[in-house]
A and B are shown apart, each in its own frame.
Chain A
């Protein structure tokens, strides 16, 4: 019961007796029963405050997570109650036979790398741009950030129209080869289509974080460097960049996690097509489970997916902790 003891007890006698529960119960029976009552009350309060959300969390996150690990080793099809343990067969299948899964994995990795680099470079560039003394900087911040408000699903649909009709029309008007590409009709350009949409959406978000970091760079340092004759590039490279390094770590991992987990824009922009050539991992898991009804294999993929995401996150936490210690 002592577990439930609340720290903010301020009745002195109760504090003493709870520190020595055994002694107190023998010596002063009245105080002991009071003490017991108090602890019971605290336990009740703890359950009342923490219980509801912990219950929901257990049902929604913990139980599915652990049963999911079990299903990864079964042949569950989601319909019949007949679930057989198959050991490592699902994983063997994924690594030796499931070409689509392997392609999705490679594609998602490739996409993640490209999206991280472009989103951060553009986001950082935008942040530098709108922290200059521009007259329009406030409205520009709003403009760059706006795409981030709209969810990936609707953005994917909007861009579907841009790629299919908008670009075609611009191609006819200007004859710029860029607009005359087949875009969503070809595996390679469709991949870049997804990249464009996610960079357009994500750069403004990353920009916000870089702006906050840039505003924390002391002006005196920059002034001093100017007096010493440093040019803009030197100031950026040797003063600004090192000082915003912690924000870079945050942004790199934010974009890594969100890119690796991309689903909505993938579903609405290409739907994985043409011919499954742009099917990223999350969509591949979804299709395996809810379209092919192979829940066991889907769950095996989901487990691998979890391990990769968890590894990325743990790496992030370790690196940021280390940086905190150093600075």
Chain B
């Protein structure tokens, strides 16, 4: 609020920095202990590691089957994002441009369904998904993410497309462009800002999701990072050296994503939350 750097501001700064350090303490404990041998974790939990040891990481990397689960997470998140962006942007576009009652009814159904919490439909979902052969496959999971993510994604695209003037498209149609061509060549490129927001919000959700994949993917070969971390932690309870290194491996991709996309993430969250 003040424009000058006063003594009061300085005290505020010191306080803020101390608070920031408190926020970082869990990360300090996590990382410093992941570098210690087991005995040292037990005796010197709060101290910095005496030697810089990466054995835990090598061990956890192998036992977690990290390369495999990391690839699974990437594949599932990437394909789900592509599918969500492609089908939801197309649907939202058609729902905005078709001024008919049915468009409104369909749009309202998508929006209304956003309030259904996952836990209240997960039980019958597993049965329905079984009937449609969607269990235990990455494609099945992707279709589920399309279903669950469609509400918010269509909602955000819908609001954005409403603000795009229709004249551009009309000109293209006169020039002989098909509706399909109009959408992909003219409209879709204009959606870039909202697409970035949508991809960020959906990526964070899908990457971190535990419950849905835990119900759908039984095959150990298909495990994602949260699933692998969960069973790893269960298997090595109290074997903190392995468990902590595994956790660090689990959060590294997220932190890299965060630091490289920070601006977009913050913008995405601000615009995504004020729906």
Q: Which A residues are within 8 Å of any B CB, using their own CB? A: 3-8, 10, 42, 45-46, 48-50, 52-54, 56-57, 59-65, 67-68, 71, 78, 126, 129-137, 139-140, 142-147, 149-154, 157-159, 161-162, 165-166, 168-170, 173, 200, 204-205, 208-209, 212, 222, 232, 235, 250, 254, 261, 263-264, 267-268, 281-282, 285-286, 289-290, 295, 298-299, 302-303, 305-306, 309-310, 313-314
Given A56-B147, A133-B9, A303-B120, are A208 and B87 also a contact pair (CB < 8 Å)? no
Interface of B (DSSP majority class): helix
How far does the Cβ of A308 sit from chain B's closest Cβ, in whole Å? Answer: 9
A7, B97: Cβ atoms under 8 Å?
A: yes
Within 8 A of A (CB), among B112-154: 113, 115-125, 127-129, 132, 134, 143-144, 146-148, 150-151, 154
B204, A149: Cβ atoms under 8 Å?
A: yes
B258, A146: Cβ atoms under 8 Å?
A: yes
**A263: B residues at CB distance < 8 A:** 119, 211
- In Å, the complex CA distance between A268 and B154 comes to 32
Asked if B95 CB lies within 8 Å of chain A CBs, one says yes
Asked if B210 CB lies within 8 Å of chain A CBs, one says yes
**B226: A residues at CB distance < 8 A:** 151, 153-154
25 pairs, A vs B, C-beta closer than 8 Å: A7-B98, A46-B98, A49-B91, A49-B93, A59-B143, A60-B129, A133-B2, A136-B16, A136-B20, A143-B24, A146-B23, A147-B26, A154-B250, A158-B26, A161-B29, A165-B240, A169-B44, A170-B46, A222-B1, A263-B211, A268-B233, A305-B117, A306-B117, A306-B120, A313-B115
- In Å, the complex CA distance between A187 and B240 comes to 23
**B25: A residues at CB distance < 8 A:** 162, 166
Within 8 A of A (CB), among B131-183: 132, 134, 143-144, 146-148, 150-151, 154, 166, 169-170, 173-174, 179-180, 183
How far does the Cβ of A152 sit from chain B's closest Cβ, in whole Å? Answer: 7
Given A59-B128, A157-B243, A169-B45, are A264 and B273 also a contact pair (CB < 8 Å)? no
Given A8-B170, A153-B229, A169-B46, are A60 and B208 also a contact pair (CB < 8 Å)? no
How far does the Cβ of A61 sit from chain B's closest Cβ, in whole Å? Answer: 5
B12, A289: Cβ atoms under 8 Å?
A: no
Given A151-B210, A222-B1, A264-B210, are A57 and B113 also a contact pair (CB < 8 Å)? yes
**A133: B residues at CB distance < 8 A:** 2-5, 9
- In Å, the complex CA distance between A68 and B87 comes to 27
How far does the Cβ of A20 sit from chain B's closest Cβ, in whole Å? Answer: 18
A232, B207: Cβ atoms under 8 Å?
A: no
Residue interface bits B225-242, CB-to-A below 8 A is 1, else 0: 010011001000000100
Asked if B218 CB lies within 8 Å of chain A CBs, one says no
Asked if B262 CB lies within 8 Å of chain A CBs, one says yes
Asked if B13 CB lies within 8 Å of chain A CBs, one says yes
Q: Which residue of B lies closest to A41 (CB)?
A: B179
B257, A149: Cβ atoms under 8 Å?
A: yes
Q: Which residue of B lies closest to A69 (CB)?
A: B124
- In Å, the complex CA distance between A314 and B112 comes to 10
How far does the Cβ of A189 sit from chain B's closest Cβ, in whole Å? Answer: 17
Query: Which one of B42, B124, B166 lies within 8 Å of A67 (CB-CB)?
Result: B124
**B100: A residues at CB distance < 8 A:** 3-5
Sort chain B's interface into a size bin: 35 or more
Residue interface bits B80-100, CB-to-A below 8 A is 1, else 0: 000000011011011101111
**B88: A residues at CB distance < 8 A:** 53
**B13: A residues at CB distance < 8 A:** 134-136
A161, B243: Cβ atoms under 8 Å?
A: yes
**A299: B residues at CB distance < 8 A:** 123-124
A153, B274: Cβ atoms under 8 Å?
A: no
In this complex, which of B13, B124, B230 has the most chain A Cβ atoms within 10 angstroms of its Cβ?
B124
B46, A154: Cβ atoms under 8 Å?
A: no
A50, B128: Cβ atoms under 8 Å?
A: no
- In Å, the complex CA distance between A222 and B1 comes to 8
How far does the Cβ of B268 sit from chain A's closest Cβ, in whole Å? Answer: 10
Asked if B251 CB lies within 8 Å of chain A CBs, one says yes
How far does the Cβ of A325 sit from chain B's closest Cβ, in whole Å? Answer: 17
B116, A306: Cβ atoms under 8 Å?
A: yes
Q: Which residue of A lies closest to B41 (CB)?
A: A165
How far does the Cβ of A307 sit from chain B's closest Cβ, in whole Å? Answer: 9
Asked if B67 CB lies within 8 Å of chain A CBs, one says no
Besides A8-B170, A61-B116, 5 more A-B contacts (Cβ < 8 Å) are A52-B91, A59-B128, A133-B9, A135-B5, A151-B226
Q: Which residue of B lies closest to A173 (CB)?
A: B46
How far does the Cβ of A31 sit from chain B's closest Cβ, in whole Å? Answer: 19
**B202: A residues at CB distance < 8 A:** none
**B174: A residues at CB distance < 8 A:** 10
How far does the Cβ of A310 sit from chain B's closest Cβ, in whole Å? Answer: 5
**B204: A residues at CB distance < 8 A:** 149
A149, B124: Cβ atoms under 8 Å?
A: no
A54, B124: Cβ atoms under 8 Å?
A: no
Query: Which one of A129, A166, A282, A310 lies within 8 Å of B29 (CB-CB)?
Result: A166
Given A134-B16, A153-B229, A306-B117, are A59 and B97 also a contact pair (CB < 8 Å)? no
Given A6-B97, A7-B98, A49-B94, are A305 and B119 also a contact pair (CB < 8 Å)? yes
Query: Which one of A5, A10, A68, A142 lies within 8 Å of B124 (CB-CB)?
Result: A68
Query: Which one of A61, A137, A149, A154 lies within 8 Å of B121 (CB-CB)?
Result: A61
Query: Which one of B94, B146, B169 lies within 8 Å of A46 (CB-CB)?
Result: B94
Query: Which one of B1, B134, B147 lies within 8 Å of A232 (CB-CB)?
Result: B1
How far does the Cβ of A9 sit from chain B's closest Cβ, in whole Å? Answer: 9
How far does the Cβ of B38 sit from chain A's closest Cβ, in whole Å? Answer: 12
